[in-house]
Chains A and B, each alone.
Chain A
């Protein structure tokens, strides 16, 4: 069902990618490989280029330079469109249709045969836990339910690569846990998942992390690898350390200090359950202070 190339071939290969949106260069010279069959977290503050990178992978972003390949094919080419499920950041479903009508249409578009439509819709409804609302019009659903309809629309047809732009934002913790369990199961079945988030504590759910800031990748490693390389106690602190290192504004004495000071509450924003980097005072002040 899901075959993501032979072992070792990356699912996604980005080389020298440059993207200009408006007058701003959002991504400038990005190169990275994303392995197949894993849950890869793309973490970074809002506005850092996560969505732009995902749009490049899906093939709807105009690219100024560089190449993006998915499963060895140029991103956005016709044969790939059957193999990729894409969840946009804002729910993108028809608010004037019911959940089932939405799923039916998107399933038809990805080529689910007519005879299999009902079974496929039932499968997806159960995955996103919306069976009780199947015939509700989307406009009458809550925000979290609408997000799940949108996610369901990305899951129809069992794509080999799922590109999910902030799928768990704003959802209640129980549901977030359930969704991550689904993502895990999909990866175990062979799918590759690229999942963005600006909530750093979701890092623990991923096989691999891409820490992104201002259009560049600060780290491309496992969670343990990132923590070991920075000596930080958690991803948020690791992120700050990497930002400081990248800007060259950190002295040898400061580096790694948070890892030792953290346990005693030395990290300014420590302790919050879900920390949003964009809103974190630490992210900006650490830059200006040093």
Chain B
């Protein structure tokens, strides 16, 4: 892998985003509005404090999954991917470039949305607030990695968008946000044990309720990062220079 090429790719992806003001605005404003809505719905109840932080990790995951799937598919359909693969660009350079660019965007998103939730909406966080940021960025990388990997199997935009209900919503249902994972039927609990989003939500939950849970949080972050690495490796394996 070449750091120069990965950075050049990340810079190019960021330039594309910079030209797209509406997407940039939506990336920041939409999560803030949703958090505000949530706080409003659950005013005078402890629910917002319970699910606010996990959702803070969910936004970058969902958004980056979608953005990455579409971006990769566009790269494939516009022929730029074919051009790049004929050029001296490593597959890892391309994937790392995307991950870097979206990771940076997610950091900005997490700082703004997190600050809004804590300082404006009054989200209670028992643990270290900076950990929220770490988990949010790792969640973003998870979304990016899953999107990079799955987009290899999408032939059209319609299919790519359908991967959200197919591969993301089941994780959402089983991650412990609706029903605590301990209370799930056995089979579903085992399933939730092997899904990366469960660990992301566990980490966020621990930060909000446990002041001394840093080690536990970092353990969960490690699991999510392992998923990220595995998915990127799979993505590199499914990205073929030679196509039929």
- Chain A positions within 8 Å of B, measured between CB atoms, are 20-22, 55, 58-63, 76, 78, 81-82, 84, 86, 88, 90-97, 101, 105-106, 108-111, 137, 153
Kindly state the separation between the CA atoms of A113 and B19 in the bound complex, as whole angstroms.
Answer: 25
Kindly state the separation between the CA atoms of A97 and B89 in the bound complex, as whole angstroms.
Answer: 19
Kindly state the separation between the CA atoms of A63 and B244 in the bound complex, as whole angstroms.
Answer: 8
Q: Contacts A22-B244, A96-B20, A108-B4 known; A101 to B15 CB distance under 8 Å?
A: yes
> Of all chain A residues, which has the CB nearest B17?
A96
Inter-chain contacts of A93 with B (CB < 8 A): 78, 80
Kindly state the separation between the CA atoms of A55 and B79 in the bound complex, as whole angstroms.
Answer: 12
Inter-chain contacts of A101 with B (CB < 8 A): 12, 15
The reply to whether the CB of B87 lies closer than 8 angstroms to some CB of chain A is yes
Top 10 A-B pairs, shortest CB-CB distance: A92-B79, A108-B8, A81-B88, A105-B12, A88-B79, A62-B242, A58-B86, A92-B83, A86-B86, A62-B244
Kindly state the separation between the CA atoms of A82 and B86 in the bound complex, as whole angstroms.
Answer: 9
The reply to whether the CB of B5 lies closer than 8 angstroms to some CB of chain A is yes
Inter-chain contacts of B243 with A (CB < 8 A): 60-62
* Partner pick for B244 among A21, A81, A92, A94, CB 8 A cutoff: A21
Inter-chain contacts of A97 with B (CB < 8 A): 12, 15-16, 19
Q: Contacts A94-B78, A95-B78, A105-B12 known; A84 to B244 CB distance under 8 Å?
A: no
Residue of B79, B85, B86, B242 ringed by the most chain A CB atoms within 10 A: B86
Inter-chain contacts of A81 with B (CB < 8 A): 86-88
Kindly state the separation between the CA atoms of A277 and B150 in the bound complex, as whole angstroms.
Answer: 41
Inter-chain contacts of A108 with B (CB < 8 A): 4-5, 8
- Chain B positions within 8 Å of A, measured between CB atoms, are 4-5, 8-9, 11-12, 15-16, 19-20, 78-80, 82-89, 240-244
Q: Contacts A22-B244, A61-B242 known; A109 to B15 CB distance under 8 Å?
A: no
> Of all chain A residues, which has the CB nearest B7?
A108
Q: Provide the main secondary structure of the chain A interface.
A: loop
Q: Contacts A81-B87, A108-B4 known; A59 to B241 CB distance under 8 Å?
A: yes
Instruction: Using A59-B241, A97-B15, A110-B87 as known contacts, list a sample of 16 further A-B pairs with CB atoms less than 8 Å apart, ordered by residue number in A.
Output: A58-B86, A61-B242, A62-B240, A63-B242, A76-B241, A81-B88, A86-B87, A88-B82, A92-B82, A94-B16, A94-B80, A96-B19, A105-B9, A105-B11, A109-B89, A137-B19
Kindly state the separation between the CA atoms of A59 and B85 in the bound complex, as whole angstroms.
Answer: 9
Complex contact B87–A109 (CB within 8 A): yes
* Partner pick for A76 among B8, B78, B79, B242, CB 8 A cutoff: B242
Q: How far is the CB of A132 from chain B (nearest CB, A)?
A: 20
Inter-chain contacts of A90 with B (CB < 8 A): 79
Kindly state the separation between the CA atoms of A95 and B77 in the bound complex, as whole angstroms.
Answer: 12
Complex contact B86–A109 (CB within 8 A): no
Kindly state the separation between the CA atoms of A106 and B85 in the bound complex, as whole angstroms.
Answer: 12
Complex contact B5–A109 (CB within 8 A): yes
Inter-chain contacts of A60 with B (CB < 8 A): 82, 85-86, 241-243
Kindly state the separation between the CA atoms of A60 and B4 in the bound complex, as whole angstroms.
Answer: 23
